[in-house]
Structure 1
Amino acid sequence: MSSSVIIPIEFDGEVKVGGKNGRHGLRPCLSRFASMLAAMEISSKDEGTKKVIHSVKVGVALTLVSLLYVIDSLYHRVGDNAMWAIMTVVVIFEFHAGAVLSKGLNRGIGTVIGGGLGCLVAVLARKVDGVGNEIIICTSVFISGAGATYVRLIPTIKKKYDYGAMIFILTFNLVVVSCLRADNIIRITSERFSTIFMGFGICLFTCLVFLPNWSSDELHVSVAARFEGLARALGECYEGYLDAASPKENKPAVALSGTCKTILQSKSKDESLAVFAKWEPWHGNFGLSYPWKKYLQIGELLRELAAIVISLKLCLESPGQMIIGDVKGSIDDTLEVSTTCLMWALRELGGSISKMTRCQPEETILPRLKSTGQELSQTVSQAISPCRELRNGNEIMFSSSLVLLMAMAKKVEELAKEVKELGEEAGFNTP
């Protein structure tokens, strides 16, 4: 699944190598640049290719940061502190650009605060002679370690700033403890800071300049694709019912798509991508205040729908379901109409997010869903009427399948309202 955003580049007029249009070589250069972007876009669509590109970028970053050791003039400036730059690249370089920014800024903030406080405590401890020096050091280490660890356990801090809190503990302890054995601790700390920020700068350069993997793009594309996956899975349920109801053809049962299982397991990934997306700079159609929480709410509703689809499959493909009594024809018609309506609604909503166009569910989607819900309710009332005795468990299973479709219609109505709010808050284009 691609998480990239294609930006078309258009040119007016014919591009020529020579003559008036090509005299200064600008248009040919732009043309070649556009072709290069298109080639990179095509190559970045494959997930395996993106992994290879990420691996190459990590190798490039490590090569660049190793120059601090290889080039003598650079090594004479930073010395053995160049190891901190290498450690920074190894630690914070992640697959997504948002993750690199999140860890890098957390590391920078934790390093500055921890190092600054550590230097302050170290200077104060140096002014105290005798046992007082060790007491100040040990007390400050205990307070900072215990306090920062307690803060890390707060859910909101742990979710966004856990890495920064850990770096604060590490930096503070390194600075404070080393002051007992080292002279000019402020100079040593400043040199380490500079190399750490060198490593962070190299990470940002290689991560953001060369085919960045945006967390926001991946979250947007993956959520939009789940609508089509659920619609396809719902269609497979109905096909499985039709195949099981035609024993003469002896068709194998239609296997439910693995999309539902993937959707059910998507919560943790969505939350991580949403957190990383908030750290990313403005790019494409995603601004700094983009409503990523709406994607999490939509994802939650999609997971509930996936659970209903799995339950619906079990009801529709129960053994002997072709024997249903005098309401079989009515149920078959209702199943076909309701399934078709739900599949259509899911695809419309998914297309709205994918194309980033505003959805107006009150005009078409909600009226059809309410009509489908009423038809399902009437069929259920007919199937389980008090004056009619249910002959077997299969009829109960079919009644349950209709109830599940009613619940699914209600969830899709909620989903349509969430998609509409997303379009309004995100500023989607009006179709």
Structure 2
Amino acid sequence: METLTSPQEQSSGPITRGCQWFKALPNKFCDKTMEIVRKTKKLGQDDPRRIVHSLKVGLALTLVSLFYYFKPLYDGFGDSAMWAVLTVVVVLEFSVGATLGKGFNRMLATFVAGGLGVGAHCLATLAGRKGEPILIATFVFIIAVIMTFMRFFPKMKARYDYGLLIFILTFCLVSVSGYRDDQVLKMAHERFSTILVGSCASLIVCICVCPVWIGEDLHNSVATNMEKLGNFFQAFGDEYFEVSEEHDQSSENNKSYLQGYRSVLTSKSSEETMANFARWEPGHGPFGYRHPWKMYLKIGNLTRDCAYKVEALNNYLNCKIQTPVEIRGKIQGQCKRVSLECSRALKEMASTFRKMVRTRSAIVHIDSSKEAAEELKTLLRTNLWEEADLLEIIPAASVASLLLEVIECIEKISEAVNELAKEAAFRNGNATVLPEQPDSIHQGEVQNGSNTAMPVPHVAIIVAE
């Protein structure tokens, strides 16, 4: 079947299409420019520290460039002053910890490798002109093999990978260049001096001008992850059992809570990176010297274990085979109470953890969830669903089983948080128990298996600053 084309399309040639493209080009250019402007504005609004960091890099490069602009400084370093500029570009990172780590690695590796390079050159010269290149090549081979293999050790790779690379580079530059240049000691001295200047300039600007402490970001990230899990459990009960009269109005709000946990599942890499950089940072604010950053990774791992169970619970919300509402209603009271108390425990832990207050207030909610869990276990042991179809029972029973496992996960998180609070010397807080109204998402009463109204005990933990 032949396609029909209009007379205008048949008569339009490449010249006509080219003219049309040029006419539309200004509009396309304006649209693309506005899109870039919107993305740039959003990027700066999401984290204003990015703008400050860009200004800090410009300031540090300007200061180091003075070695080229002023003749007395240039005469002292010569063309080697370019190493200071390159060092600023490479070393100055977004956070203080990352900058300190790279700066220390670069300075130490340059100093040690430069000294070994000079020593290798001196030893090679003793072998004569013919034996010198053979010895230098042998030294380069041995150093390259050893340093490269050391990069495979996990601890070395985590903290000193950049330093090992610079070690190989500096040793090769000094030892190999010394074969054609007799002033190898001067070259090594100039390289180390300029790298020292560039690293110090980067550190001074990074620490003194609006410093970004990666340890604080790690601390807030762990607390935020606990809050996201708490938000999920806060919305899960109503979403799964669909008993709220205003379900349609609150559904959109619940959906946002139910999807927030996904970022917790992929947070391992970023947390390990932040913990590695945080170890380089000096004591600052509430984070003292030798702060137990490794324990943040333990809490993060336990939080992700809980998030995997949350992922399984979320899958049952959209499962094709659903347990009928009347069957789910037999366990909804206990399940909703467990979910709600887990939410309160996680949010309480996140709040006190973020404020660095040492309390055991979340234990109240964990104990309440255990009580509801015992009631749920007792209910499941009865002949509750003896007349129901087994295929219809499995989803609701799986949800109940996962909620019971979640309590154990939250209890482990609470123990890890209390252990960190003890090691990091969080300030003590006085916990008082006061009555409070139920959460807005869960207003009303929770029904038990016999559809009889059963009020849910609810307490608020007020932590004294």
User: Following TM superposition, by how much is the alpha carbon of 1:59 offset from its aligned partner in structure 2, in angstroms?
Assistant: 0.8
**Which residue, 417, 420, 425 being the options, matches 1:419?**
417
CA distance in 1, matches of 2:312, 2:183: 69
In the other structure, the counterpart of 2:292 is 291
Larger gyration radius, structure 1 or structure 2 = 2
**Which residue, 371, 382, 395 being the options, matches 2:393?**
395
Note if contact 1:260-1:307 (Cα within 8 Å) is conserved in structure 2: no
Map 1:332-343; keep pairs closer than 5 Å.
Answer: 332-343=332-343
Note if contact 1:62-1:86 (Cα within 8 Å) is conserved in structure 2: yes
User: Following TM superposition, by how much is the alpha carbon of 1:108 offset from its aligned partner in structure 2, in angstroms?
Assistant: 1.1
Are residues 215 and 247 of structure 1, via their aligned partners in 2, closer, same or farther at CA, if it must alter by over 3 Å? Answer: closer
CA distance in 1, matches of 2:309, 2:394: 17
CA distance in 1, matches of 2:86, 2:194: 10
User: Following TM superposition, by how much is the alpha carbon of 1:256 offset from its aligned partner in structure 2, in angstroms?
Assistant: 5.0
In the other structure, the counterpart of 1:24 is none
User: Following TM superposition, by how much is the alpha carbon of 1:247 offset from its aligned partner in structure 2, in angstroms?
Assistant: 11
CA distance in 1, matches of 2:381, 2:153: 50
Structure 2 residue 103 is the aligned partner of structure 1 residue 91 = no
Tell which deviates more after alignment, 223-232 or 208-217.
223-232
In the other structure, the counterpart of 1:309 is 310
Q: Which residue type is aligned with residue 220 of structure 1?
A: H
Map 1:131-146; keep pairs closer than 5 Å.
Answer: 131-146=130-145
- Per-residue deviation, residues 178-201 of structure 1 (Å, max 9, x unmatched): 111112211121111111000001
Note if contact 2:109-2:166 (Cα within 8 Å) is conserved in structure 1: yes
Map 1:375-386; keep pairs closer than 5 Å.
Answer: 375-382=375-382
Structure 2 residue 283 is the aligned partner of structure 1 residue 263 = no
CA distance in 2, matches of 1:408, 1:102: 38
- Per-residue deviation, residues 279-317 of structure 1 (Å, max 9, x unmatched): 001100112211111111111111122221222122245
TM-score by length of 1: 0.83
Q: Which residue type is aligned with residue 159 of structure 1?
A: A
Structure 2 residue 52 is the aligned partner of structure 1 residue 50 = no
Tell which deviates more after alignment, 376-385 or 291-300.
376-385
User: Following TM superposition, by how much is the alpha carbon of 1:369 offset from its aligned partner in structure 2, in angstroms?
Assistant: 3.4
* Structure 2, unpaired ranges of 5+: 1-43, 430-465
Note if contact 2:102-2:162 (Cα within 8 Å) is conserved in structure 1: yes
Tell which deviates more after alignment, 364-373 or 118-127.
364-373
CA distance in 2, matches of 1:222, 1:377: 35
CA distance in 2, matches of 1:182, 1:200: 27
Note if contact 2:237-2:339 (Cα within 8 Å) is conserved in structure 1: yes
Structure 2 residue 194 is the aligned partner of structure 1 residue 210 = no
CA distance in 1, matches of 2:250, 2:286: 47
Secondary structure of 2:94 counterpart: coil
- Per-residue deviation, residues 221-255 of structure 1 (Å, max 9, x unmatched): 11111221111122232232244887996986752
Are residues 127 and 405 of structure 1, via their aligned partners in 2, closer, same or farther at CA, if it must alter by over 3 Å? Answer: same
Secondary structure of 1:279 counterpart: coil
Map 1:87-166; keep pairs closer than 5 Å.
Answer: 87-166=86-165
Are residues 251 and 235 of structure 1, via their aligned partners in 2, closer, same or farther at CA, if it must alter by over 3 Å? Answer: closer
CA distance in 1, matches of 2:130, 2:46: 60
Number of residues of Structure 1 aligned to a counterpart in Structure 2: 384
Note if contact 1:237-1:256 (Cα within 8 Å) is conserved in structure 2: no
Are residues 341 and 130 of structure 1, via their aligned partners in 2, closer, same or farther at CA, if it must alter by over 3 Å? Answer: same
In the other structure, the counterpart of 2:278 is 277
Are residues 141 and 239 of structure 1, via their aligned partners in 2, closer, same or farther at CA, if it must alter by over 3 Å? Answer: same
Note if contact 2:241-2:328 (Cα within 8 Å) is conserved in structure 1: no
User: Following TM superposition, by how much is the alpha carbon of 1:389 offset from its aligned partner in structure 2, in angstroms?
Assistant: 4.4
Q: Which residue type is aligned with residue 426 of structure 1?
A: A
TM-score by length of 2: 0.78
Q: Which residue type is aligned with residue 287 of structure 1?
A: G
Secondary structure of 1:364 counterpart: helix
User: Following TM superposition, by how much is the alpha carbon of 1:378 offset from its aligned partner in structure 2, in angstroms?
Assistant: 2.1
CA distance in 2, matches of 1:269, 1:51: 17
In the other structure, the counterpart of 2:235 is 236
User: Following TM superposition, by how much is the alpha carbon of 1:261 offset from its aligned partner in structure 2, in angstroms?
Assistant: 1.4
Structure 2 residue 199 is the aligned partner of structure 1 residue 200 = yes
Secondary structure of 2:414 counterpart: helix
CA distance in 1, matches of 2:381, 2:60: 66
Note if contact 1:241-1:317 (Cα within 8 Å) is conserved in structure 2: no
What root-mean-square deviation, in Å, do the aligned CA atoms of Structure 1 and Structure 2 show? 2.4
Structure 2 residue 311 is the aligned partner of structure 1 residue 331 = no
CA distance in 2, matches of 1:119, 1:235: 65
Tell which deviates more after alignment, 316-325 or 301-310.
316-325
Q: Which residue type is aligned with residue 204 of structure 1?
A: L
Note if contact 1:334-1:379 (Cα within 8 Å) is conserved in structure 2: no
Are residues 272 and 97 of structure 1, via their aligned partners in 2, closer, same or farther at CA, if it must alter by over 3 Å? Answer: same
Are residues 210 and 251 of structure 1, via their aligned partners in 2, closer, same or farther at CA, if it must alter by over 3 Å? Answer: closer
Note if contact 1:369-1:413 (Cα within 8 Å) is conserved in structure 2: no
In the other structure, the counterpart of 2:373 is 373
User: Following TM superposition, by how much is the alpha carbon of 1:207 offset from its aligned partner in structure 2, in angstroms?
Assistant: 0.3
Are residues 171 and 204 of structure 1, via their aligned partners in 2, closer, same or farther at CA, if it must alter by over 3 Å? Answer: same
Tell which deviates more after alignment, 309-318 or 408-417.
309-318
CA distance in 2, matches of 1:154, 1:382: 55
Secondary structure of 2:47 counterpart: helix
User: Following TM superposition, by how much is the alpha carbon of 1:393 offset from its aligned partner in structure 2, in angstroms?
Assistant: 2.9
Q: Which residue type is aligned with residue 369 of structure 1?
A: S
In the other structure, the counterpart of 1:176 is 175
Note if contact 1:241-1:316 (Cα within 8 Å) is conserved in structure 2: yes
* Structure 1, unpaired ranges of 5+: 1-44
**Structure 1 vs Structure 2: percent identity of aligned residues?**
36
Are residues 116 and 57 of structure 1, via their aligned partners in 2, closer, same or farther at CA, if it must alter by over 3 Å? Answer: same
User: Following TM superposition, by how much is the alpha carbon of 1:159 offset from its aligned partner in structure 2, in angstroms?
Assistant: 1.3
CA distance in 1, matches of 2:317, 2:388: 17
Are residues 357 and 90 of structure 1, via their aligned partners in 2, closer, same or farther at CA, if it must alter by over 3 Å? Answer: same
User: Following TM superposition, by how much is the alpha carbon of 1:169 offset from its aligned partner in structure 2, in angstroms?
Assistant: 0.4
Are residues 146 and 363 of structure 1, via their aligned partners in 2, closer, same or farther at CA, if it must alter by over 3 Å? Answer: closer
